[in-house]
Amino acid sequence: MWDLVLIGVVIAIEPLPVIGFILLLSGRRGVVNGIGYIVGWVLTLVAIVVGTLLVTGGEPPQTTSVPGRTVSIATVLIGLVLVGIGIRQHRRHGTSAPQRPPPRWTSRLDEISPWAAAALGFLLQPWALVAAGVASVAQADLSSAASVAYLVLFCVLATSSILAMECYVVLAHEDATRRLGDLRRWLDAHRDRGIEILALLAGLVIIGKGLYQLAG
């Protein structure tokens, strides 16, 4: 389940959720709404992990069984989707098209409540990567301490970037506001390239894992 660690890291540095969280922190109720966002984000990840384990019963399907091969095929398909996203971003990056304006919802972040921030923590999940995580979680064995550790580590890593930013703003508000503003501008400028690299990397690793399982 080592690939679950990679997916958690990629989710943590996915540009769009990070940019959205920085914009949320810069609002009038940034700290409170940041907590709401983190709660929504974590609950979404936990619900996905628990829901997947309930379906599998906490026992990984045999790779030679129909369910096992179905999971492997789904893994390959998810990897292909991620590679497709990476290729699309590469083509878009290579054109002279003007940079996309920020989504409309970013102009309303000053007005939202902690409940809406929690909903944003759900909506801004990078769902293609989360789907890849589900395919890995489906192979978890709850009788193995290592599998349980991987599941916990996945949730921690996927949340680590936004949790670190929240703590930074609480402990050093002025300095954090300035530095996170610089980070947001850098991410805005390199967003497409970042998504391209992350999607291609995760996609190729996931395809390789799925093909290996099918071959086995």
The answer for residues whose C-beta is within 8 angstroms of residue 170's C-beta and 6 or more apart is 31
pLDDT of 190 reads 82
C-alpha distances in Å from residue 189, one per residue of 143, 162, 186, 207: 45, 20, 5, 29
Measured CA angle at 185 (ends 182, 190), to 5 deg: 125
C-alpha distances in Å from residue 150, one per residue of 124, 174, 208: 23, 36, 20
Residue 171 pLDDT > 90, yes or no?
yes
Domain that includes residue 210, residue range? 2-215
pLDDT of 30 reads 85
Residue 92 pLDDT > 90, yes or no?
no
Tell me the C-alpha distance between 158 and 168, whole Å: 17
Tokens 């389940």 sit on residue: 1
Return mean pLDDT, the chain. 86
Q: Which of 77-81, 104-108, 195-199 has the lowest mean pLDDT?
A: 104-108
Burial of 13 (0-12, 13-18, 19+ CB in 10 A): middle
Specify the higher pLDDT residue, 49 or 96.
49
Q: How big is the chain, counted in residues? A: 216
Residue 103 pLDDT > 70, yes or no?
no
Tell me the C-alpha distance between 24 and 165, whole Å: 11
Q: What is the DSSP string of 136-163?
A: HHTT--TT-HHHHHHHHHHHHHHHHHHH
Helix (H, G, I), strand (E, B) or coil at 76: helix
Half-sphere exposure of 216 (CA within 13 A, CB side): 12
pTM to 2 decimals? 0.85
The answer for residues whose C-beta is within 8 angstroms of residue 124's C-beta and 6 or more apart is 16, 17, 20, 21, 41
pLDDT of 67 reads 76
Q: Stretch 102-130: mean pLDDT, rounded? A: 82
Tell me the C-alpha distance between 89 and 64, whole Å: 36
How many domains are contained in the chain?
A: 1
pLDDT in tens, 39-75: 999 999 999 999 999 988 888 777 677 777 888 888 8
Residue 158 pLDDT > 90, yes or no?
yes
Q: Stretch 80-89: mean pLDDT, rounded? A: 88
Residue 96 pLDDT > 70, yes or no?
no
Specify the higher pLDDT residue, 172 or 103.
172
- Evaluate whether 89 touches 196 at the Cβ level (below 8 Å): yes
pLDDT of 29 reads 84
